[in-house]
Chain A
């Protein structure tokens, strides 16, 4: 009875979480939904006499794999929500139809099979003195080669991450002395002027005026300036607006120099 209740509760939770994974637009929500599915499955493993797997599921899947997913999501930008524009017309519709058909087919196939009462793994567990020793015996006898070969996978994964992510320094790291020199050579050794907040406005995107009354374009944050230009939030004063536009143009240039990959290289 207890198993039935657990099953139905977790079945509802895991299926709705899985649907959430497919339909929520924000990638972080997707990751959390996947975490919920994994945790419910861990409980279902425990219910089905697989305590070792339940523990491994939590440690490896929710602990390591999900964290890695979240880590990468944070790295590439949490706000990277999905576009809902269909690039292939009708693709979403047909994918749904195919998915529902596939689910029905699988469920029918499983339902059709004359499956008797489960034999239960208690016997197999007891022969070796518990679930973990029984699995250990299988791993180190019948399936020992698969176990050994899995090490090749782990080495590949480590090597692959190194190849793709490790950046070797091609130039010597600039010392503090170099940095200080560069700063003085640049012709502007002091800190950048602060924005004109509270001088005439209470907004942080307003350029400050220098003592001689001229507008300092160095005083606005370039990223904010770009947003201002894109959203058309420019001040009425033409001098200030011009400074913001210049800062925005600099930001564009900067971006292009980082993200402008040359084709055919």
Chain B
């Protein structure tokens, strides 16, 4: 059963990574990153059961704390740039090309 859970987590992680690469809306890109973090948590919880120690569950808990803080900062930054440009597309963020 462990393998099943791990394959599921790997799939979710890969889908999230593809989403980051193909989506253009900064908020959606960020949601895909959150999907990746969730996939990591599933792997941690699964491995915790596999090894019979609670470190994995504990790490998953910390990941949630970190993700919550990250979401606040990230969305604040995205809202700021939206207010300036009226667009949340990463394509419009192209001033730094050389």
Interface string of A25-38 (1 = CB under 8 A from B): 00100110010011
Residue in A closest to B25 when the chains form the complex, CB atoms: A82
Chain B residues bordering chain A, tally (CB within 8 A) = 72
Would B38 and A41 count as touching, CB distance under 8 A?
A: yes
Contacts of B89 in A (CB 8 A): 82-83
Would A153 and B3 count as touching, CB distance under 8 A?
A: no
Q: Is the interface of B mostly helix, strand, loop or mixed?
A: helix
Partner of B31, one of A21, A56, A157: A21
Would B35 and A18 count as touching, CB distance under 8 A?
A: yes
- Among listed A119-127, A221-229, A243-251, interface-contacting one: A119-127
- Among listed A138-146, A189-197, A209-217, A232-240, interface-contacting one: A138-146
Contacts of B25 in A (CB 8 A): 27, 80, 82
Would A106 and B54 count as touching, CB distance under 8 A?
A: no
Interface centre among B70, B72, B89 (most CB of A within 10 A): B72
Would B31 and A124 count as touching, CB distance under 8 A?
A: no
In chain B, residues 26-74, which have Cβ atoms closer than 8 Å to a Cβ of chain A? Answer: 27-28, 30-32, 34-35, 38, 41-42, 45-46, 48-55, 57-58, 60-62, 64-73
Residue in A closest to B23 when the chains form the complex, CB atoms: A82
Is A15 among interface residues, defined by CB-CB distance under 8 A? yes
Is A3 among interface residues, defined by CB-CB distance under 8 A? yes
Would B67 and A30 count as touching, CB distance under 8 A?
A: no
Partner of B15, one of A99, A135, A147: A99
Chain A nearest CB from B90 CB (Å) reads 9
Would A160 and B76 count as touching, CB distance under 8 A?
A: yes
Q: A83-B24, A261-B84 are in contact. Are A111 and B7 (CB under 8 A)?
A: yes
Contacts of B48 in A (CB 8 A): 48, 50, 121
* A22 CA / B35 CA spacing, docked (Å): 10
Chain A nearest CB from B66 CB (Å) reads 6
Partner of B46, one of A14, A48, A139, A146: A48
Would A69 and B71 count as touching, CB distance under 8 A?
A: yes
Would B79 and A164 count as touching, CB distance under 8 A?
A: yes
Q: A72-B27, A82-B23, A119-B51 are in contact. Are A37 and B12 (CB under 8 A)?
A: yes
Partner of B4, one of A11, A57, A147, A154: A11
Is A204 among interface residues, defined by CB-CB distance under 8 A? no
Contacts of A38 in B (CB 8 A): 38
Partner of A123, one of B23, B52, B72: B52
Is A203 among interface residues, defined by CB-CB distance under 8 A? no
* A99 CA / B32 CA spacing, docked (Å): 13
A sample of 27 cross-chain residue pairs with beta-carbon separation below 8 angstroms, ordered by A number, consists of A11-B8, A21-B15, A21-B28, A22-B19, A27-B25, A27-B28, A44-B42, A50-B49, A52-B61, A56-B61, A75-B79, A80-B25, A80-B87, A91-B21, A95-B21, A96-B18, A99-B15, A107-B11, A118-B49, A118-B50, A121-B48, A131-B54, A135-B57, A153-B66, A158-B72, A160-B72, A261-B85
Q: Which 9 A-B pairs have the closest CB atoms?
A: A119-B52, A99-B18, A103-B14, A106-B10, A95-B21, A22-B19, A157-B72, A157-B69, A110-B6
